[in-house]
Amino acid sequence: MFDELMPSSQQPITFFDERFGLDRAMLERAIGRALGGAIDYADLYAEYRVNESISLEEGIVKQASHAVSQGAGLRALSGDKTGFAYTDEISLDRLTLAARQARAIAQRQEETDATGLLRKGRDGGHDLYALRQLPTEATLEGKLELLNTIDRIARAYDPRITSVITSIASEDRLVVVASSDGWVAGDRRPLVRLNVTCIAEEGGRREIGSYGGGGRLEFGWLLEEERFARYAREAARQAILNLSAKEAPAGTMTVVLGPGWPGILLHEAIGHGLEADFNRKGVSAFTGKIGQRVASELCTIVDDGTIPNRRGSLNIDDEGTPTSRTVLIEQGILKGYLQDRLNAKLMGMAPTGNGRRQSFAHPPMPRMTNTFMLAGESDPDEIIRSVKSGLYAVSFGGGQVDITNGKFVFSASEAYLIEDGKVTAPVKGATLIGNGPDVLTRVSMVGSDLKLDEGVGVCGKDGQSVPVGVGLPTIRVDGLTVGGTSV
């Protein structure tokens, strides 16, 4: 039925839901205003979002918020031109005004009659985050009690832990997408994230450690198997470890990347370069290389938005396209790019369900979901033993990449020396410097221990931020430049 939008993590979302205030006539009128003789396609994206957050510092609530936002964005496409306008008031007048503005930006033409345009619903075929209770429905008292418990656990880990900062953020997001192709789709997207940061001090030295996790999950998931306690101890462990870390060496060396979060290097150095807009415009280091070898034959890299409950997963993307598992590189051969509707059409390819946007006030663009390298056959311990001298990077902090040439710089937040096949002293100040396409060709061993990150990733592009996931098995990279403070 037109007014039953599936899939939904709680219950069907209807256009007559009071949170939207939408009906068939409003949708069709707005899309009709966006269409015209030279407009190829138009769509409407409506959103209702509830965000909650609470943070605790030194046992005191430093911040607590509950925010509600809603609005709709109208888009009109004419060739490679995009017109986009949005409104934070969902009413017929404001929607039609936004539609006219979007059409005017793309191409000035007469309006068309869209009566009867929306014929059917679109079922993404997924129900990736069906929850009994939304994370925003958990009580403030329960969240505050958890944060206080985490504070006590982290401080008890070691007396050198002098400061603990904890926070919980949760979200309930309802979206509706209607298009001039005549279909409509909707989704309800829960999200929760727990962060723990610890500061350790000794002898005038001050170091930091952080950890966390989450996903499209219930608040109670954090309590299962005492995940919160593991996060607290891990943040404290990192802070204490860094107190004894020595300065990292510099030079060209063999680097072993640990499983899980180090996949952020893959996300930045390779993933962004495989997004369709950069390749259509010819500015990516991977432009025109489909079918060519771009990596070691040990490397198979996928982007998968269909993994249940993962932070980067979606039932449908923000254009209403069902998400998918897209093979980007298979045994070293480039197979394709991450596509939204616009770039897929202009490139003569199929959308992959990677059209994403930060909110109703932003137009969609091709973005990653959960991006990772598949497991190989090597034993992780054997990979370490194979290295005479090198660096073992377990976790990363900040980094940056130049899409046009693939050059990247990443700082390791936890790293160790490898000496005679053994992991030895922790080091600090290590940065990895290289070129995305080149680094893939230097992968000489891939472990059997693929791990996805804990669920804390946020990806930025063109001023927009969206939740993502990353993953990696243990891999060995030969001849990678390491920046440090000693030689």
Domains of the chain: 24-243 (3.30.2290.10), 251-483 (no CATH)
CA distance 45 to 422: 53
Alpha helices in 107-225 (DSSP H): 140-157
For residue 187, the SS3 value is: strand
* Alpha-carbon distances of 202 from 44, 59, 398, 427, 485, rounded to whole Å: 56, 21, 25, 17, 21
pLDDT at position 125 is 65
Sign for the pseudo-dihedral over CA of 392, 396, 400, 401: positive
Q: What confidence tens digit (pLDDT) does each residue in 219-231 have? A: 999 999 899 999 9
Alpha helices in 183-300 (DSSP H): 227-243, 263-266, 276-280
pLDDT at position 75 is 94
Maximum pairwise Cα distance, the chain: 74
- Write out the H or E segment, with its range, that includes residue 56: strand 41-57
The residues facing 302 across adjacent strands are 327, 372
Closest to 132 (Cα-Cα) out of 9, 308, 5:
9
Backbone angles phi, psi at 422, to 5 degrees: -130, 145
In the block, tokens 């954090």 appear at 222
Backbone angles phi, psi at 446, to 5 degrees: -130, 125
pLDDT at position 9 is 37
CA distance 457 to 27: 34
- Tokens found for residue 194: 């727990």
Closest to 102 (Cα-Cα) out of 66, 75, 62, 132:
75
Backbone angles phi, psi at 220, to 5 degrees: -60, -20
Sign for the pseudo-dihedral over CA of 310, 312, 313, 314: positive
For each successive 10 residues of the chain (487 residues), what is the average pLDDT? 34 51 79 82 94 94 94 93 92 87 74 56 75 94 96 98 98 93 90 98 95 97 94 98 95 97 90 95 94 97 98 97 97 98 96 98 98 98 98 88 83 96 96 91 97 95 96 97 75
- Tokens found for residue 70: 């809603």
- Are 320 and 341 within 8 A, CB to CB? no
CA distance 91 to 248: 59
- Are 319 and 343 within 8 A, CB to CB? no
- Are 237 and 209 within 8 A, CB to CB? yes
- Tokens found for residue 77: 């496409």
pLDDT at position 13 is 42
